[in-house]
């Protein structure tokens, strides 16, 4: 009985681990010139006079998403748009980096 429970727990643990890894998305830094024109327009409109520090491209659920990291008053904010220029939203970049344990 103990062996069966151990095997079941191992299978469940492996499944949960695989699920988390499968949901992870990879970010690649890109240049503005490499961003589709519609997405460039939206990014520039939303950024306004804020300095664009970098642009990252990622794939989520099979769709390309572009994040423009802008600096305003010393705070980094990510502006998210899809490849067709549709505005998706913004988030605090520092908070996201803390969650992922990254530094840029």
Alpha helices in 1-104 (DSSP H): 2-23, 37-47, 93-100
Fold of 26-100: Nuclear Transport Factor 2; Chain: A, (3.10.450)
pTM for the model stands at 0.68
Flag whether pLDDT at 22 surpasses 50.
no
Distances (CA, A) of 19 to 6, 22, 24, 38: 20, 5, 9, 33
Strands 27-30 and 75-82: unpaired
DSSP 16-32: HHHHHHHH---EEEE-G
| Structure tokens that stand for 101 in this block | 């344990």
How do residues 25-64 score in pLDDT, each as one tens digit?
578 999 999 999 999 999 999 999 999 999 999 998 889 9
Q: What confidence score (pLDDT) does residue 99 get?
A: 54
The dihedral formed by the CA atoms of 90, 21, 64 and 48, expressed in degrees to the nearest 10: 20
Closest CA to 100 of 36, 31, 51, 27: 27
| Domain residue extents for the chain | 26-100
Could you tell me which residue, 28 or 14, shows the higher pLDDT? Answer: 28
| Structure tokens that stand for 92 in this block | 């605090």
Q: What confidence score (pLDDT) does residue 100 get?
A: 53
How do residues 84-101 score in pLDDT, each as one tens digit?
999 999 988 765 555 555
């Amino acid at each position: 009985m103990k062996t069966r429970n151990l095997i079941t727990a191992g299978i469940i643990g492996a499944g949960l681990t695989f699920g988390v890894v499968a949901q992870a998305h990879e970010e690649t830094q890109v240049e503005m010139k490499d961003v589709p024109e519609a997405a460039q327009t939206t990014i520039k409109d939303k950024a306004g006079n804020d300095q664009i520090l970098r642009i990252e491209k990622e794939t989520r659920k099979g769709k390309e998403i572009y994040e423009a990291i802008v600096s305003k008053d010393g705070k980094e904010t990510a502006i998210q748009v899809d490849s067709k220029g549709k505005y998706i939203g913004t988030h605090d970049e520092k908070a996201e980096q803390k969650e992922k344990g990254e530094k840029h």
